[in-house]
Homo-oligomer: A and B are copies of this chain.
């Protein structure tokens, strides 16, 4: 397939889409409202924001031949370290060597994708904001330093994030479903710097979690030994962002709720007061695409199509998986863009809708359950069963993070497993020996279930 493609947004989804489309023979132009991320100074100025790359993202990056180049920039995370008042608990992610997450700087990843896209001939127009889309042509109006310009294309891809302008224009006057919901909690990013001796302040190369129903922190390690922590708090209330506006209050709050952060982040109060609280949004929409009688079309990918809360660490991974699925659909419908886009949406939307729900659920899990002994026993039983039946019994988290089983199927499978666990009365029977004890009980049933 070939033709002109126009991508709105040079973020993670936009730059990877550009790579895929260029490889498939499209002449690709990307319109991005920000400046070139490779401009000297940009990396140093920006905060070190990192993301957890998991299986779905890895598969896509491998597909376009970028994984090996990125590997040196990533830090493996082999499990999660839960910070509790009485110390740390380590929960490994899974069994196999490849069941790890990889922490990577958003900036580094984005630059690698942009570099690769340019190498393949993609043209980036930095500082160009998409302000209108005429879906009937399709044509895109972008406003740049030189004023407004109109570009037409065979394929327009909206990869312009959770508040997508392409999405708005795609839906105007059509029967478009849109569900937009904000969490009552927001977040701020804080840097856990390397120690004065130049060494990391925590040696555990893992995802760190401080759970809690009135605030929680998640931190990923960086290659230089620092970590980026994201503090999630309610917006409202005395102990929310609204109330925590004075140094004394902030210090007292961290001392009470997250005592070890005071040593991990010496300037925690200054950083906290210095950074803006950002909000978290879930967006589901339908349709994701419109096509013309002439066989052209507009389609959404990434956060523009499905923004989810970050509590499953899947937003970027799902966005990358979108790009890979879209590419496969283009391959399967040569010369038939409408067919390809329809196949893409049909293959993908039901699963990202499930991801949105799972990401909401994981908020509740991180907030309320991670400190519950009953819940932890259940998690252990889940993992013990996985150890006994590595293929037949796979915990939900493992299915989401370490496989490419479509999200909806992963959920359905985990529901079956939950029913078995529930039926066996784990929670109630309690006890950490759950795993082995249950195994005998369930072995027969489980086989039936999976085969």
Interface residues of A (CB under 8 A from B): 175-182, 235, 279, 281
In the complex, are the beta carbons of B179 and A175 less than 8 A apart?
no
Contacts of A177 in B (CB 8 A): 180-182
Q: Provide the bound-state CA to CA distance between A199 and B175, in Å.
A: 40
Complex Cα distance, B235 from A41, in Å, reads 54
Q: Which residues of B contact A181 (CB under 8 A)?
A: 177, 179
Residue of chain B at shortest CB distance from A281: B175
CA distance A105 to B279 in the complex (A): 46
A–B complex contacts, Cβ < 8 Å, 15 sampled = A175-B182, A175-B235, A175-B279, A175-B281, A176-B180, A176-B182, A177-B180, A177-B181, A177-B182, A178-B178, A178-B179, A178-B180, A179-B179, A179-B180, A179-B181
| C-alpha spacing A175/B179, complex, angstroms | 13
CA distance A179 to B177 in the complex (A): 8
Name which residue of chain B comes closest to A184, CB basis. B175
- Closest chain B CB from A450 CB (angstroms): 35
Q: How far is the CB of A42 from chain B (nearest CB, A)?
A: 25
Other A-B pairs, 7, CB within 8 Å; known A178-B178, A178-B179 = A175-B182, A175-B235, A175-B279, A177-B181, A178-B180, A179-B180, A179-B181
Nearest chain B CB to A438 CB, angstrom units: 35
Q: How far is the CA of A281 from the CA of B176 in the complex (A)?
A: 10
Chain B proximity of A338: nearest CB distance (Å): 16
* Set of chain B residues within 8 Å of A176, measured between Cβ atoms: 180, 182
**Could you say which residues of chain B place their CB within 8 Å of the CB of A178?**
178-180
Alpha-carbon gap, A177 to B284, bound state (A): 12
A191 to B123, CA, bound (A): 58
Q: A280 to nearest B CB, angstroms?
A: 9
Q: Report how far A177 CA is from B179 CA in the complex, Å.
A: 8
A181–B176 Cα distance when bound, in Å, is 7
List, in ascending order, chain B residues with CB within 8 A of A235's CB.
175
A183: nearest chain-B partner, CB-CB = B175
Docked complex Cα distance between A180 and B176 (Å): 8
The residue of chain B having its C-beta at the shortest distance from the C-beta of A178 within the complex is B180
Of all chain B residues, the one with the shortest Cβ separation from A182 is B175
| Shortest beta-carbon distance from A249 to chain B in Å | 22
Complex Cα gap A155–B176 (Å): 32
Chain B residues whose C-beta falls within 8 Å of the C-beta of A279 in the assembled complex: 175
A279 to B175: give the CA distance in the assembly, Å: 7
Q: Closest chain B residue to A284 by CB distance? A: B179
How many Å from the CB of A178 to the closest CB on chain B?
Answer: 5
The 5 closest A-B pairs by CB, nearest first: A175-B182, A178-B180, A177-B181, A179-B179, A175-B279
Q: In whole angstroms, how far apart are the Cα atoms of A393 and B176 in the complex?
A: 40
Measured CA separation A178–B178 after assembly (Å): 7
Contacts of A281 in B (CB 8 A): 175
Q: How far is the CA of A180 from the CA of B284 in the complex (A)?
A: 10
Q: Which of A175, A177, A181, A281 has the most CB of B within 10 A?
A: A175
Q: Which residues of B contact A182 (CB under 8 A)?
A: 175-177
Closest Cβ–Cβ distance, residue A12 to chain B (whole Å): 23
